[in-house]
Every structure is written in C-alpha cells, then in structure tokens.
C-alpha cells in the first residue's frame, strides 16, 4: 500500500532529517512510526503526503508514484498534520461540510456521510462552535475531516499530543474502529510507546532520521523481549517462594497476585528447572493455578533497541 525506497531529506541548511528510509505498509495495517522528538517523523509524513519533496528516494502509494502522480495520490489519502487551524465560529458539522465542498464531494452523499462521521468520532450530538471544543474533541473532528473524501489511507502526525490519558484512549479506540469499519489503512506517528503498543499491528522505530527496526509488534516482542520470565500462581505463595529460593539459578519477585520467576538458564536448563519447580510444589501439596511465560512489553523491546544507541529517550 505504501512503500518507500531509500527515502532521504536534507533541508536547505544542509541538515539531513531523514536518511535512507525503507518502509513497507500493507493494506489494512495500523502502522506506528515511533521515535523521540527530532527523529524525523514529521519530515517523513510530509514527504509521504506530498507536502515536501524528498532529496532522494522513491515513494509509492497504492501503486502510484509520488514523483509523477501526486495529484492522484492526494485523492486516496487523508492527512491530519501535527498542528492545524480550525474555524472557531463553525460547528463540527459546518466544518466538515466546508471541506466536503472544498474537495468537490457529492453533497447528496454528504447529507448522510457527515452525520455518520460525526457520530463515529463521538461528536454526533454536539452542535456547538469548535471554539468551545476540548482539544480531544478538536482532534476527533480533525480525524473526521481526514475521511471526508473516502480515502484509503489516513496519515496522522502525533494525534494524541497534548491529550490527557482519557483523550488518548478515545483516539486509540476511534482509530481501531475506523480501521475495522471503514477498512482504512492508518499511518500514525507518535513518541508515546503506549499509543503504538495498544493500537498498531506494525511499527517502525526511528532515531536521528534513521530506521532502527521495523516489523510486526508481535515478532519484535519475541525477538527482543525478555525470554526468561515466568508467572507462577499457587495456593500458597509464601511456601512456593521458599521452595523456589532453594533453586540457585532462579530469582523470585512478586507482582501482587503472582510470583515472577526469572530463570538465568539456557533453553534446556530452563525446561529442567521448570520440571524441578513442579516436582517440589507437588511434593509439598501446593496447588498450581498458573505457570506461564510472561510476554515482554513493547517498553522492554524499545529499551533494548535504543539502549544500544546511547540513550533511552523513546
Ligand atoms: N525546515 C527545516 N530546516 C532545517 N531543519 C529542520 C527543518 N524542519 C525540521 N528540521 C529538523 O529535522 C529534524 C527532524 O524534525 P521532525 O521531522 O520535525 O522530527 P519529529 O517530527 O520526529 O520530531 C529535527 O532536528 C528538526 O530540527
Ligand atoms: Mg513531529
């Protein structure tokens, strides 16, 4: 759906903000473009949406080439920039109608589509001027605006920036819903792990204009996550803890409801230790409710990825 090859941008002052970026986004993806401030996210999104000319490299969107077919590309994409103006005196409905006319949409279709969009973004019953909207409501209206011409892909530059946790969650829920119900592909930038972790199926991590890693979130978690952590829940946590402390290569901590067991062992050693734990618990008549591998969080993944680069800013 979106592909870049060797995409680079050097600004007029000689600063290279994006360097040799190869991205691949498939139809239906919710793709997270994650990196700290100054990583080159906005520069990249501007190039992908035809607002900024690349210094090098190619962009194709929906099989169209940005260098030759940017007008056609603009018909299939919607964009929510990092900061954008609103007309404070308009209502949400008037705002969407204004852009529908500007984009030459069929206004008969808009008579049902605009109320549908307003409902989708949780502004269906609101008929007050945008000047009285909260920032979260403005962002949701902005997302509705990106969809006014029925695009296949929407680009959102830090849509949750400056929102409180509730506002952030609303945006996440909304984007998941739009991705499913309208089958729209989503490209979102963020410097917040949480946004990407709960929302995206794929992620690319950038730093200093360069790609550090990209892929399915699940496979990155397996690749970089902590592999040695198990969760153990039993009928007698105190006794369990005592028993496990007898095994030298294991560290035990608690997380409130269960014991967390870190095994400092190679793969065959781990299996042996697991067997040992089960046997000891059985011998002591302790019931086992749960004994499972702890899936790594994206936080761990990012920490590993960026710690090798001399920082943990993400
Ligand atoms: N017009 C410009 N001229 C020179 N440097 C720029 C320009 N715009 C952005 N930059 C620089 O490029 C780098 C990447 O910026 P940006 O793409 O906005 O990053 P992000 O969105 O990830 O915070 C930053 O160091 C920024 O200062
Ligand atoms: Mg930015």
Q: How far is the CA of 208 from the centre of ligand 1 (A)?
A: 10
Cα separation, 213 vs 16, in Å, equals 19
Q: Are residues 88 and 184 in the same domain?
A: yes
Ligand sitting nearest the alpha carbon of 40: 1
Alpha-carbon distance of 130 to 146, in angstroms, equals: 17
**Is 245 contained in some domain?**
yes
Q: Domain of residue 249: give its range.
A: 226-293
Report if residue 79 sits inside a domain. yes
CATH number of the domain to which 255 belongs? 3.30.70
Two tokens at 286?
């302790």
Tokens of 31: 């793709």
Asked if pLDDT for residue 314 goes beyond 50, the answer is: no
In DSSP terms, which residues pair with 261 in a beta bridge? 230, 252
Last residue of a domain, one of 191, 207, 223: 223
Is residue 169 located within the same domain as residue 233?
Answer: no
Ligand number with the minimum distance to the CA of 82:
2
Q: Residue 214 Cα, ligand 1 centroid: separation in angstroms?
A: 21
Q: Residue 42 has what pLDDT?
A: 97
Distance 17 CA to ligand 1 centre (A): 6
pLDDT digits (tens, 9 = 90+) for 36-66: 889 999 999 999 999 999 999 999 999 999 9
Q: Residue 80 is part of a domain; what is its CATH number?
A: 3.40.50.300
Both structure tokens of 215: 């892929």
Q: For the sheet containing 259-263, what is the strand order?
A: 250-254, 259-263, 229-234, 288-293
Say which residue the tokens 């008037």 belong to: 94
**Domain-located, residue 310:** no
Claim to verify: residue 111 and residue 249 sit in the same structural domain: no
Dihedral of the alpha carbons of 130, 136, 142, 143, in degrees to the nearest 10:
-140
| 304 assigned to some structural domain | no
User: Closest Cα to atom 12, ligand 1: which residue?
Assistant: 17
CA 37 to ligand 1: nearest atom: 23
b/e sequence 61-88, b meaning 16+ C-beta within 10 Å: bbebebeebbeebbebbbbbbeeeebee
Q: pLDDT for 147-196, tens place per residue? A: 999 999 999 999 999 899 999 999 999 999 999 999 999 999 998 888 88
Residue 181 and residue 108 in one domain: yes
Q: Measured from the CA of 35, which atom of ligand 1 is nearest?
A: 22
- Residue 40 alpha carbon to ligand 2 centre in Å: 7
Claim to verify: residue 139 and residue 198 sit in the same structural domain: yes
pTM exceeding the 0.85 threshold for the entire prediction: no
Q: Per residue in 135-148, pLDDT tens? A: 999 999 999 999 99
Establish if 306 belongs to a structural domain.
Answer: no
Choose the most confident range, by mean pLDDT, from 96-110, 190-204, 235-249.
Answer: 96-110
| pLDDT for res 136 | 92
Residues 160 and 266 in one domain: no
Atom of ligand 1 nearest to the CA of 206: 22
Total domains in the fold of the chain: 2
In ligand 1, the atom with minimum distance to the C-alpha of 209 is 14
Q: Is residue 21 part of a domain?
A: yes
The pLDDT tens digits for 246-292 are: 887 788 888 778 898 888 777 788 888 888 889 999 999 999 999 98
Residues 199, 236 within the same domain: no
pLDDT at 308: 55
Task: Report the separation in Å between the CA atom of 192 and the middle of ligand 1, taken as the mean of its atom positions.
Answer: 18
Quickly state the pLDDT bin for 311 (edges 50, 70, 90): very low
What is the per-residue pLDDT for 295?
A: 74
- Closest C-alpha residue for ligand 1 atom 16: 40
Q: Which residues line ligand 1 (CB under 6 A)?
A: 11, 13, 15, 17, 35, 37-43
* 176 and 48 within one domain: yes
Same structural domain, 210 and 247: no
Ligand 2 centroid to Cα of residue 238, in Å, is 50
Provide the token pair at 209. 């204009």
User: Which range among 73-82, 153-162, 217-226 shows the weakest confidence by mean pLDDT?
Assistant: 217-226
The answer to whether residues 203 and 237 belong to one domain is no
Q: Is residue 313 part of a domain?
A: no
* Same-domain status, 169 and 248: no
**Residue 75 falls inside a structural domain:** yes
pLDDT of residue 307: 62
Q: Are residues 108 and 183 in the same domain?
A: yes
pLDDT the model gives residue 226? 66
Query: Is pLDDT of 222 > 90?
Result: no
Angle made by CA atoms 288, 294, 300, in degrees to the nearest 5: 160
The ligand minimizing its distance to the Cα of 47 is 1
Domain end, chosen from 223, 255, 275, is at 223
Q: How far is CA 293 from CA 172, 225, 245, 250, 262, in A?
A: 28, 12, 19, 14, 10
Residue 26 pLDDT more than 60? yes
pLDDT of residue 181: 93
Instruction: Pick the last residue of a domain from 204, 223, 242.
Output: 223
């Amino acid at each position: 759906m979106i592909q870049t090859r060797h995409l680079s941008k050097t600004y007029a002052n000689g600063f290279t903000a994006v360097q040799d970026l190869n991205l691949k986004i498939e139809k239906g993806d919710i793709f997270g473009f994650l990196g700290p401030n100054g990583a080159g996210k906005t520069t990249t999104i501007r190039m992908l949406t035809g607002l900024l000319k690349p210094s090098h490299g190619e962009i194709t969107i929906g099989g169209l080439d940005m260098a030759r077919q940017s007008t056609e590309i603009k018909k299939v994409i919607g964009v929510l920039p990092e900061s954008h103006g609103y007309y404070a005196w308009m209502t949400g409905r008037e705002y969407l109608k204004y852009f529908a006319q500007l984009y030459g949409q069929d206004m008969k279709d808009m008579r049902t589509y605009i109320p549908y969009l307003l409902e989708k973004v949780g502004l269906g019953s609101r008929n007050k001027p945008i000047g009285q909207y909260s920032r979260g409501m403005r962002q949701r209206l902005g997302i509705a605006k990106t969809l006014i011409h029925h695009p296949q892909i929407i680009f959102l530059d830090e849509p949750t920036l400056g929102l409180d946790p509730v506002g952030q969650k609303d945006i996440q829920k909304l984007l998941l819903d739009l991705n499913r119900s309208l089958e729209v592909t989503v490209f979102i930038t963020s410097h917040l792990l949480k946004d990407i972790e709960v929302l995206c199926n794929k992620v690319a991590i950038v730093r200093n204009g360069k790609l550090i890693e990209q892929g399915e979130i699940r496979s990155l978690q397996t690749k970089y996550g902590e592999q040695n952590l198990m969760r153990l829940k039993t009928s007698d946590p105190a006794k369990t803890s005592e028993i496990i402390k007898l095994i030298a290569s294991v560290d035990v901590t608690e997380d409130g409801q269960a014991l967390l067991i870190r095994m400092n062992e190679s793969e065959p050693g781990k299996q042996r230790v697991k067997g040992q734990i089960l046997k000891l618990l059985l011998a002591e008549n302790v019931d086992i409710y749960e004994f499972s591998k702890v899936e790594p969080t994206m936080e761990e993944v990012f920490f590993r990825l960026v710690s090798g680069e001399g920082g943990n800013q993400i």
